[in-house]
Amino acid sequence: MRRPVRTHHGFVVLLLFALFAVACEPGPTPSPVSTAESSPGPSAEATPSPAETASPAATSERLADVQSRGQLICGVNGGLPGFSFLEEGTGEWSGFDTDFCRAIAAAVLGDPEAVEFRPLSADERSTALQTGEIDVLVRNTTWTVSRDTAWGLFAPTTFYDGQGMMVTSATGATTLQDLEGATICVQSGTTTELNLTDQMRALGVDFSPQVFGDIDATYDAYTQGRCDAVTSDRSQLVARRTQFTNPDDHIILDVVMSKEPLGPVAPLGDDQWFNVVKWVVFATFEAEEQGIDAGNVEQMRDSSENPVIRRLLGVQPDAGELAAGLGLEDDWVVNVIGAVGNYGEIYNRNLGPDTPFNLDRGPNRQWTDGGLLYAAPYR
Amino acid sequence: MTSAPLDHVHAAVPPWRDIRVLRIAVQVVVVALVLAIGFVLWSNLTASMGRSRLTFGLGFLDTTAGFEIAESPIQFSATDTYGRAFAVGLINTLIISVAGIVLATILGVIVGVGRLSGNWLVNHLAAGFVEVMRNTPLLVQLVLLYAVLLQLPSVANAVALPGSIYLSQRGLSFPRPVVGPTFGAWLALLGIGIAVALATRWFAARREASGHPSSGLRRVGILAMVTIPVVGWVALGAPISLDVPILQRFNFVGGIVLSPEFSALLFGLVIYTSAFIGEVVRGGIQSVRRGQLEAAYAVGLTPRQTLRLVVFPQALRVIVPPLTSQYLNLAKNSSLAIVIGFPDLFSVSRTMSNQTGQPVSVIMLVMATYLAISLATSLAMNLYNRRVQVLEG
């Protein structure tokens, strides 16, 4: 009786020592609080290794972290053609959102390919931001006040979207009121889920939601007839419809159920890093407004007389100070535009007339064309 | 006298070699280590949460949820609170768990007994079932089962079964009995009918005891028992009516719907768990010694009686502890519901944590809830186990 008990104790002690050693490993200092500072937080187990993990920064540390790591960790959707998906055949990441990840990497590291894309579900993205596991979230995420205060800071909207509703043409529905009694598929953890409820309640339309955690499960259930309709951002509906076996059997109702401003999100608590993300987005807007594109950016830098362009491209005498304020190289905008092009190029390459989506730019035009894109002055 | 030299030896042993001191010292170290690890983990969590501006707190439970839930056994709408949404998820989980445990036990016993059957076909069918179900992942089974259920005919082409029952890819719709306002009155009439029948029977028995034939009287009693409720039913205008499902534009409205998500989850859990329970039952039965069987046959019990009176009571002692584990697994595995879109506790709480931005609080609440469910199940099964064990004594 006695012997087994003793061996048992010895084993437990060994195990605890091992655990303790492992728990302390990432921390260079013995104090538990310091250990906590340098370890990636509660969701550490979800990340591959400490070296690859973006450590959360309390103050302006993230820019330095990204630069010393030599890679940007960018949270993306991963399942949304046109925005972020793996290109068939090449296996390369491609899309509107991924191009903004590349733009940030080009600005910060000078290399648009120095990005680790991390696909996140709608549920996972808030935790990934809050724990600082990713440097920036570019995942068709709607800007709301609760997310701005609890998730992270929203950079300028890159895509003005609205919630739409897709139905099979067999239902003959043309308005939301026609969907009385219908079953509607929706993805959990989205603003869409809440808007659907709000809109239908306002219209007094009874419906039954069918909620899935995964984007693929949502559309699978819809195409198999489990639901009469599926609701999401209009751009997403258009993108997913191109993947259906018979895209023509599905129509997107001519209703916009909500405002969905989608944009990049930087983790809370690092103002400088947030400024970098914000101004990379503005730079793509400004470049389009000034007629700078991937093809002519170097020539513009070398020959333009326009002080606005010269300042943006880092050749005006005061431009160095502006770039230094962001913590970036003088020619960071040249890197960004040279790598991914201006906003219009990014849009057309991924969603424009030559793509299967052929999405009209709508409100995503420059303010000079009657759209909503309006970059703050770079000066 | 004899102990004196031993005491002397003990006194000479230095404390670092004294087994009594060492034992206490080891325990002190273990406790200190556990506390230290707990402190490190806790301060890590609070520091990280502080940095991410996350807060603990369940205040959000009283605020408006703002989302709808597809299936709720209790009344729920978007204007209700997060707390109520959580309750809906909890009730859904409990329904799945309880129904799953009952059905898995029944199927598991059948499979377990089947594996011991002398019939070649039954024996091999049961063995095949166990091996296939036990050796493929539950998640895969659930996804497959759900995909299969979605291949049923569309709502418009629903299969109509007798009694207003409809089967389609949107689920199984069947009539729901609705209790009308006159139900209480009718129940009273039914009681009166039964009372009259009992009274006449008692009266007739007394008369017969005193030698009077009274079969007529008995008949009157039975007649009254049937007639009073029937007449009452008609007079009161059908106190129980049926809410029959009717196909509207998109879905069947009315009646009760067993959704494909519910069915896939329930049957997936039942089939998977019953394979394990089958093995537990088989092991329990085989643990009963052969002599017990021979003795039972020797005293003239039939095989069925032997199983019921001799084998099962003894096998239960072996079966119940591992069976408890299977019940716990079933309840916990029900959280896979999120994959096939059934609004169980975990699925609803995912939406909650996302909408409120309070992942840590919500996850802790969910863990505490599953823990409570599991501990309650264990407690119930342990009490039952004690009863089974006492039977042996």
pLDDT greater than 60 at residue B221? yes
Q: What is the architecture, at CATH level 2, of domain A162-259?
A: 3-Layer(aba) Sandwich (3.40)
Compute the average pLDDT of residues A48-71. Answer: 66
Put simply, the answer to whether A126 touches B23 (Cβ < 8 Å) is no
Q: What is the pLDDT of residue A7?
A: 42
Cβ <8 Å between B150 and A6: no
Evaluate whether residue B303 is within a structural domain. Answer: yes
Q: Is residue B110 pLDDT above 70, yes or no? A: yes
Which pLDDT belongs to residue A18? 47
Q: Would you state the pLDDT for residue A10?
A: 45
Rounded to the nearest 10 degrees, the angle between the axes of helix B120-134 and helix B260-286 is 120
Q: Are residues B145 and B187 in the same domain?
A: no
Question: Cβ–Cβ of A224/B151 closer than 8 Å?
Answer: yes
pLDDT at A64 over 50: yes
Specify whether the backbone of B67 is left (phi greater than 0), alpha (psi in -120 to 50) or beta.
beta
B330 and B212 in a common domain: no
Q: Is the pLDDT of residue A55 over 70?
A: no
What is residue A76's predicted lDDT score, i.e. its pLDDT?
95
With CB atoms and an 8 Å threshold, state whether B34 touches A17.
Answer: no
pLDDT for res B391: 55
What's residue B123's pLDDT?
93
Asked whether A99 and A346 are in contact (CB, 8 A), the reply is yes
Q: What is the mean pLDDT of residues A23-40?
A: 38
In this structure, is residue B215 part of a structural domain? yes
More confident position, B52 or A341: A341
Q: Assess whether B159 and B189 both reside in one domain.
A: no
Question: Comparing A15-19, A73-77, A93-97, A166-170, which segment has the lowest mean pLDDT?
Answer: A15-19
Residue A8 pLDDT > 60: no
Please indicate, yes or no, if residue B66 is contained in any of the structural domains: no
Q: Which of A32, A131, A208 sits opposite B251 (nearest CB)?
A: A208
Query: A-chain residues within 8 Å CB-CB of B26?
Result: 9-10, 13
Q: Which residues of A touch B341 (CB under 8 A)?
A: 210-213, 217, 221
Among A273, A346, A286, which residue's Cα sits nearest to residue A313? A286
| Residues B169 and B260 sit within 8 Å (Cβ to Cβ) | yes
Which CB contacts under 8 angstroms, 24+ apart, belong to A191-194? A191/A142, A191/A144, A191/A163, A191/A258, A191/A260, A192/A163, A192/A231, A192/A232, A192/A233, A193/B67, A193/B351, A193/B355, A194/B66, A194/B67, A194/B355
For B20-40, how does the pLDDT look when each residue is reduced to its tens digit (9 = 90+)? 888 999 999 999 999 999 999
CB atoms within 10 A of CB A325: 11
Domain-terminating residue out of B189, B208, B243 = B243
pLDDT tens per residue, range B310-352? 988 889 889 999 999 999 999 999 999 988 989 999 999 988 8
Residue B237 shares a structural domain with residue B279 = no
**pLDDT of res. B5:** 52
* pLDDT at res. B11: 61
Mean pLDDT, range B75-79, rounded to an integer: 85
Torsion, Cα of B160, B161, B164, B168 (10° steps):
-50
- Chain A residues 253-272 with CB within 8 Å of chain B: 267-269
Query: Would an 8 Å CB–CB cutoff place A8 in contact with chain B?
Result: no
B334 and B212 inside one domain: no
Where does the pLDDT of residue B236 fall: very low under 50, low under 70, confident under 90, or very high at 90 and above? confident
Tell me how many domains chain B contains: 3
- Give the model confidence (pLDDT) of B276-306 as tens digits: 999 999 999 999 998 998 999 999 999 889 9
Taking an 8 Å cut-off on Cβ atoms, the answer to whether B37 and A19 are in contact is yes
B150/A180 CB distance under 8 A = no
Looking at the structure, do residues B354 and B378 belong to the same domain, yes or no?
yes
**Span A49-158+263-379: which CATH code?**
3.40.190.10
- B345 found inside a domain: yes
Nearest residue in B to A20, CA atom: B37
Across residues A18-26, what is the average pLDDT? 43
Q: Which residue of B has its CA nearest to A186?
A: B341
In this prediction, residue A43 has a pLDDT band, given cuts at 50, 70 and 90, of very low
Q: Is A228 on the interface with B (CB under 8 A)?
A: yes
Both B358 and B321 in one domain: the answer is yes
DSSP string, A173-211: --SGGGGTT-EEEEETTSHHHHHHHHHHHHHT---EEEE
Per domain, the residue ranges of chain A are: 1-35, 49-158+263-379, 162-259
| Shared domain check, B356 and B331 | yes
Pairing of strands A115-119, A136-137: unpaired
Output the six-digit token pair for B106: 């029944």
Please, what sign has the CA dihedral across residues A92, A98, A103, A104? negative
Q: Identify whether residues B92 and B119 lie together within a single domain.
A: yes
Interface of A with B in 305-344 (CB under 8 A): none
Looking at the partner chain, which of A6, A181, A198 has a beta carbon nearest the beta carbon of B249? A181
Interface residue of B34, B67, B348 to substitute, partner A, most A CBs within 10 Å: B67
Lowest mean per-residue pLDDT among A239-253, A305-319, B62-76: B62-76
* Per-residue pLDDT tens digits for B142-186: 999 999 999 998 888 888 888 888 888 888 888 888 887 788 888
The pLDDT value given to residue B390: 60
Q: Which contiguous run of DSSP H or E holds residue B7?
A: helix B3-12
pTM over 0.90: no
pLDDT beyond 80 at A121: yes
Looking at residue A42, what is its pLDDT? 40
A1-27 mean pLDDT = 43
Q: Is residue B77 part of a domain?
A: no
Residue A258 pLDDT > 90: no
Question: What is the average pLDDT across A213-239?
Answer: 89
Residue A212 to residue A310: CA distance in whole angstroms: 50
Contact residues on chain A for B353, CB-CB shorter than 8 A: 123
**Mean pLDDT of all residues belonging to chain B:** 87
Number of neighbouring beta carbons within 10 Å of residue A89: 6
Mark yes or no for CB contact A269/B53 under 8 Å. yes
User: Which pLDDT belongs to residue A289?
Assistant: 95
What does the pLDDT read at residue A330?
Answer: 92
Of these ranges, A92-106, A350-364, B51-65, the one predicted with the greatest mean pLDDT is: A92-106
pLDDT classification of A52: cutoffs 50, 70, 90: very low
d(CA A209, CA B40) in angstroms, rounded, equals: 43
Residue A167 burial class via C-beta count within 10 angstroms: exposed 0-12, middle 13-18, buried 19 and up: buried
Is residue B184 domain-shared with residue B149, that is, in the same domain?
Answer: no
How much is the average pLDDT of A255-276?
A: 92
User: For B226-235, which contacts have Cβ atoms below 8 Å and span 24 or more sequence positions?
Assistant: B226/B193, B227/B193, B228/B189, B228/B190, B228/B192, B228/B193, B228/B196, B229/B186, B229/B189, B229/B190, B229/B193, B232/B185, B232/B186, B232/B189, B232/B190, B233/B186
Nearest CA in chain B to A39: B44
Q: Which residues form the domain of B187?
A: 178-243
What average pLDDT does the segment B102-131 reach?
A: 94
For helices A271-289 and A62-69, angle between their N-to-C axes, nearest 10 degrees: 80
**A14 pLDDT exceeds 50?**
no
Query: What pLDDT was estimated at residue B48?
Result: 76
Two tokens, residue B349: 């709480």
Q: Which amino acid is at A261?
A: P
Which of the four pLDDT bands, split at 50, 70 and 90, describes residue A27?
very low
Let me know if residue B335 belongs to a domain: yes
Q: Do A181 and B341 touch (CB under 8 A)?
A: no
User: What is the pLDDT confidence band of residue B8, given thresholds at 50, 70 and 90?
Assistant: low
Does B267 lie in the same domain as B159? yes
Query: Average pLDDT for residues B218-235, to the nearest whole number?
Result: 82
Q: Please indicate, yes or no, whether residues B284 and B331 belong to a single structural domain of this protein.
A: yes
In a domain, B124, yes or no: yes
Q: Say yes or no for a CB contact (<8 Å) between A188 and B151.
A: no
Mean pLDDT of A327-353: 94
Of B346, B313, B364, nearest to B93 by C-alpha is B346
CATH number for B326: 1.10.3720.10
B104 has pLDDT over 50 = yes
Per the CB < 8 Å rule, is A221 touching B45?
Answer: no
